[in-house]
A and B are shown apart, each in its own frame.
Chain A
Amino acid sequence: MQDKRRKTGYLLFLSDRSPLIPWLFLLPFLLFFLIFMVYPMIQGLYISFTNYTILSERMSLVGLRNYLNLLRPGDLFLISLGNTFKYVALAVPVLLGCGLLFAIVVNAPIKGRMLFRTALSAPFVINVASIALLWTWILDREIGMINYYFMKLGLPKQEWIYHPFSAMLVIVMVSLWGRLGSVMLPFLAGLQDIPQEYYEAAIIDGASKWNLFRYITLPLLKPILLFAGVSQVVAGFQIFGEVVMITGGGPGYSTRVAMQHLYEVGFSWFRLGEAAAMSWILFLIIMFFTILQFRYLSGRVEY
């Protein structure tokens, strides 16, 4: 007993008032954070100004050449980036809209609402590879379930992933299915957090349903809208697995996205300098949209 106490006393030779104590607590985390987050970010920026490839161990500075090459009109990167923008512009508003709408519906006092919540949100815990295997099977042109029921209903067989237009829709649809939970659940949590008295008071004052939504629900959900908006835009620009495993970026280049292009340039062709430049362009784009959303959606909410 005596011994044990002395030992702890010895190990913590620093007195409790020592300014080093907080840093000792932080040390393990900061170590990983510096090595695997801060250092790679800085190094990535440096690599983006070099012609580094993994095969030849040489690395020389080439200035802005990687960036200028990427932004040359007609470069595959710009095509992929354009598709990514198209995807984000389609998927994010749909996700936010459906997420909010479904959250309101499953928050209503209805029978079995827990069941509905589970059903609508469950796919968001499924890994992207399983999602892709599942949906390529369902959307198969010849033996897929959806075309089977289309035929039963007398509708024409759809090309799905074999047509440039529907291929993009498939990616949007699959991400809506798979990501709905990650938007709906925060909205649901936010709805449950709104004091019921607000609604009661407004109803006494004769407010309509729409006004309740417009002047109470929506403003109070603003922080969550911001959170969901930012995280979905960030996630949208990073879309990768769904595309690579369902359409492979095709047909042609119609669904090729930025992340896929980065992956191939960097890790199939090993042009790492170029890949790093790409990642910084993407980073700047995301930063821009994040700041934009903070500008328009932030602001204190008083309860």
Chain B
Amino acid sequence: MDNRVKYDILYGIGFAFLIFLAILWIVPILWCLSTSLKLNENTYTYPITWIPNPITVRNYITVLTSGRGANIGIAFINSTIVSALTILLTLIIDSLAAYPLARLEFKGKPIVFAIVVGSLFIPIYTVLVPRFMMFWRASLLNTYWCLIFPALSSSYGVFMLRQFMLSIPRELEEAALIDGCSRFRTFWTIIFPLTRPALATLSLFVFLSSWNDFLWPLLTLNDPTKMTLPVALQLFRTAYGNWEMGTVMAAAFTGTAPTLIVYFFTQRMIVRGMLTSGLKG
């Protein structure tokens, strides 16, 4: 009986603490949303109001259409195109590369695999200067390609898909091979579809990293019509004053809404993906 009460009290304290934490973590996002729905002149009034009065979407219209500072609407389209292309190409290239590493025996496989794993730990700035020079010399700065190509050299997807392919039963594939399917057809009609859960998780990770990338786009894009969202947001901010925070917050929220929405619907997949990406090697 006594123990039961003690447990309840502890549980209560822990629960209250957790609620406090969750509020602390979510409040900045809600505040951003709330500010973005206020008229600019209502953002710095005293005392603070949490529910905008009146609620307005004027800031969002300004953000998407005005082009003052930077055109967030165009940046949104750019980010979408870059992310979509990066995801598509990564899925194709990485699954092709993962297949022989998971299934075929060949000379040099241990070396290729060691390089793939080793390069996971290379920080981006070791290649920053030479990569910049490459794209500058090739006159590819301010294009989508200077964002997409380097992303395709990441070995993360190869590693993750290989780990997943190892868990696919060999029998399925062998049946097809015996029936006279070529290696490539076997891969394309049997292995590729079975890899779908891992491909979905990889798409998510690639989406997040390409949508949120900041440093590299900041270096390579200075044409406002080619900018992706994070870079455009940075430029956007310079054109607005402290009395226009409603508009600034609308831009910030526009920049992150897609990732937040995707996250809410795919959270379980991300947690699972973090496990299959071979934490246990």
Residues on A lying within 8 angstroms of B by beta carbon are 8, 12, 16, 19, 21-23, 25-26, 28-30, 32-33, 35-37, 39-41, 43-44, 47, 54, 102, 105-106, 108, 110, 114-123, 125-130, 132-135, 137-138, 140, 142-143, 145, 148, 177, 180, 185-186, 188-190, 192-193, 223-224, 227, 230, 234, 237-238, 240-241, 245, 259, 262-263, 266-267, 272, 275-276, 279-280, 282-283, 286-287, 290, 301
Contact = CB atoms under 8 A, between A and B. Distances in A.
Contacts of B149: 32, 35-36
Interface string B142-177: 000000011011110010000000000000000001
B255 interface: yes
Given A22-B100, A26-B97, A117-B267, A266 B129 contact: yes
Most A CB contacts (10 A, CB to CB) among B29, B43, B149, B274 go to B274
B260 A26 contact: no
Contacts of A54: 133, 136
A23 B101 CA distance: 10
A143 B249 CA distance: 14
B121 A234 contact: yes
B14 to A, nearest CB: 7
Contact of B233 (A8, A117, A133, A276): A133
A105 B230 contact: no
Interface residues of B, number: 94
Given A125-B259, A133-B248, A105 B14 contact: yes
A40 B127 contact: yes
Contact of B106 (A19, A40, A280): A19
Contacts of B1: none
A128 B234 CA distance: 10
Contacts of B202: none
Given A240-B214, A280-B126, A33 B155 contact: yes
Nearest to A20: B106
B114 interface: no
A47 B126 CA distance: 11
Contacts of B248: 133, 137
Given A22-B109, A118-B263, A186-B274, 10 more contacts: A29-B97, A121-B267, A126-B29, A126-B260, A129-B233, A129-B252, A223-B279, A238-B124, A240-B214, A266-B132
B21 A102 contact: yes
